A = this chain, B = another copy of it.
Amino acid sequence: MTDRIVIEGIRPSTPNGYPAKAVVGRATAVSADVFRDGHDVLAARVRWRSRGNGKGKWSTALMRPLGNDRYQAVIEPAELGAHEFQVEAWTDRIASWRHEITVKLTAGQDVELELEEGALLLEDALSRAERADRARIETAVASLRNAQASAESRLSGALDPALMALLDELPDPSDLTRSAPSPLWVDRERAAVGAWYELFPRSYASPEQGKMGLAGATDRLPAVANMGFDVVYIPPVHPIGRSFRKGRNNSLDPAPDDPGSPWAIGAVEGGHLALHPELGSFSDFDAFVARTRTLGMEVALDYALQCSPEHPWVTEHPEWFHHRPDGTIKYAENPPKKYQDIYPLNMWPADPGDRQALWQACKEILDFWIGHGIRIFRVDNPHTKPFSFWEWVIHEVQAANPEIIFFAEAFTRPKLMARLAEGGFSQNYTYFTWRNTKAELTEYLTEIALGPKADYMRPNFWPNTPDILSGILRGGGPGAFRLRLVLAACMTPSYGIYSGYELCENQPMSDTNEEYFESEKYEIKDRDFSQPGSLVPFVARINDIRRRHPAFSDLGNIAFHHSNNDQILCWSKVDAAADDVMLMVVNLDPHNTHEDTLGLDLPALGFEWHESLEAFDELTGMTFMWTGANPYVRLDPGLPAHVLHLRRPGRGGTVT
């Protein structure tokens, strides 16, 4: 015979029982379906604890009914790392009795027996109550049995609200039921919220001042910090192979001074544990990391498990590579394309000992760079390595360093992306880069922010990357760049841009190739960030708005609002606890002005249907006075967005 109470549909959860994800010190809603046969009132609570160093103490939170047999509580894990939670439920016999006797009394029925039933229930609760609470319970029992008084007064003498609240939280052991433990991984905030900026350090070398790439890039950091970024992501910093090196524009015939792709890792100077000599020394690297931290940012380092033909592993560990019948090592291919400058690792050698040695060596790379202050790894192409490798290595690393963040660069099929997230990646690149229309964006955000994947998969939106210049950015003007920035930065808590975005670099490799013309992957770029018309102030403003408005720190608080015009997209982000209501309106058409009358769901925003609102545009500093749910908007493609702070008139607000 199993339990009588059913607890199911627990969230947060993942499809295969891996840990769901939360952020330390931030509210996480835990919910479940809780029911039993019949009509008795149930009570439910969640209890949770850290599983970090030994098992922590359980904390509990009473769950409240949401309707349709679903219950929810909000928990706030206080530590990093592994946690577990359970949903507990029991039949609340006292609440059931309270409901029954109240209805009967109202209907004028005799309740003598019910009063005694209540007294018996309270007596039963006596034994499990705290000693300090027993006197109040005994008083309630006495009131119920006070045959001199009226039924109403006997009952009201017992229904002391404080006593009832106390009893609500007292589990009844007679049918207390517990769900199996649910694992929960608690990250630091940066795993969920952050503005990222990608730069190639080698492009910032200043030979005339004797500065190597990393030293030059260190000088660039204050400007990045001034734009309001939280994370500086740098491509691989290791020696670059020379054989089959790619030249400018991915050509097969490099000039002697072409630097090669940073992802062709390994040369005579070393492999994944070495620094490219032209980037500088380890003290330059450590200085770069330290300066980033001083500026309130941190470095994300690329983690790309692949080798150039000169990588030391190729000769030291040929068993870690794929071999062909003629004894050669298999280079990377996507037939008919060939990538002779890259040897993929064979992450699943037939010999388990080889596999173990290789995986351990891969983990040592992470440990090494953690030793140099790295706390975030941007992982290149994780979907071409086994899921079980990632599960293992992330678990191993985070068990020792729960603050380490892994960011999956898997631009691949949806189920592989979700599985990487489920297996432990802290966040994922997404399809945002290719979602352009109102329908596409609405559907995609609904899926990733409001669907079950949001329990464990954290999107990080990038309008561009060194590999991808797509959609309206191809040949687009500043308006297009502003538009995609507002979309990325104001839809999800994590977003990033690759440097050059703020200069509206817009020339693709070709009509059919998404890479950049004269891509920085294959050559040094010398940019003039002070050029007039750059988007630097706009980027800084967006990041400043994100920091000042807590509504942007949550993923699941997005809601779309009606617009009649297919080029006008309108969404809100609300942090009810912080009373922060943000409404974004964008014109998706980079070429034409559009206008519309919106259809706002005002109650969802915390307002009455016919209330007057102040809509303060954080982008322009203008204030619109709106009454009702149907404000008129008009957006020019040059400044194609409103980022509106909605507030009651006279309340003031955060004006820059």
Copies in the complex: 2
Q: Are A335 and B387 in contact (CB under 8 A)?
A: no
Q: How far is the CB of A62 from chain B (nearest CB, A)?
A: 20
Cα A458 to Cα B352 in complex, Å, equals 48
Of A99, A117, A335, A348, most buried by chain B (CB within 10 Å of CB) is A335
| Complex: chain B residue closest to A33, CB-CB | B415
Cα A6 to Cα B416 in complex, Å, equals 9
- Residues in A401-449 with C-beta less than 8 Å from chain B: 413-416, 419
- Residues in A615-652 with C-beta less than 8 Å from chain B: none
Q: Are A415 and B117 in contact (CB under 8 A)?
A: no
Of A39, A352, A391, A414, most buried by chain B (CB within 10 Å of CB) is A39
Cα A352 to Cα B4 in complex, Å, equals 13
Is A656 in contact with chain B by the CB < 8 A criterion? no
Of A15, A107, A419, most buried by chain B (CB within 10 Å of CB) is A419
Cα A8 to Cα B416 in complex, Å, equals 12
- Residues in A1-28 with C-beta less than 8 Å from chain B: 1-4, 6, 8-9, 15-16
Of A3, A120, A336, most buried by chain B (CB within 10 Å of CB) is A336
| Complex: chain B residue closest to A419, CB-CB | B6
Is A594 in contact with chain B by the CB < 8 A criterion? no
Of B36, B104, B336, B414, the residue contacting A68 (CB under 8 A) is: B414
Of B9, B100, B385, the residue contacting A15 (CB under 8 A) is: B9
Residues on the B chain within 8 Å of A413, using CB: 35, 68-69
B-contacting residues of A (Cβ < 8 Å)?
1-4, 6, 8-9, 15-16, 33, 35-39, 68-69, 99-100, 103-104, 106-107, 109, 113, 116-117, 120, 324-326, 333-336, 347-348, 352, 355, 383-388, 391-392, 413-416, 419
Question: Could you list some 17 contacts between A and B, CB below 8 A?
Answer: A2-B388, A6-B387, A6-B419, A8-B419, A9-B15, A35-B413, A35-B415, A36-B386, A37-B385, A39-B334, A68-B413, A68-B414, A69-B415, A69-B416, A103-B335, A103-B336, A113-B326
Residues on the B chain within 8 Å of A109, using CB: 336
Cα A6 to Cα B391 in complex, Å, equals 13
Residues on the B chain within 8 Å of A355, using CB: 1
CB-based closest 9 A-B pairs: A107-B336, A103-B335, A116-B325, A2-B388, A69-B415, A38-B384, A4-B386, A37-B386, A100-B335
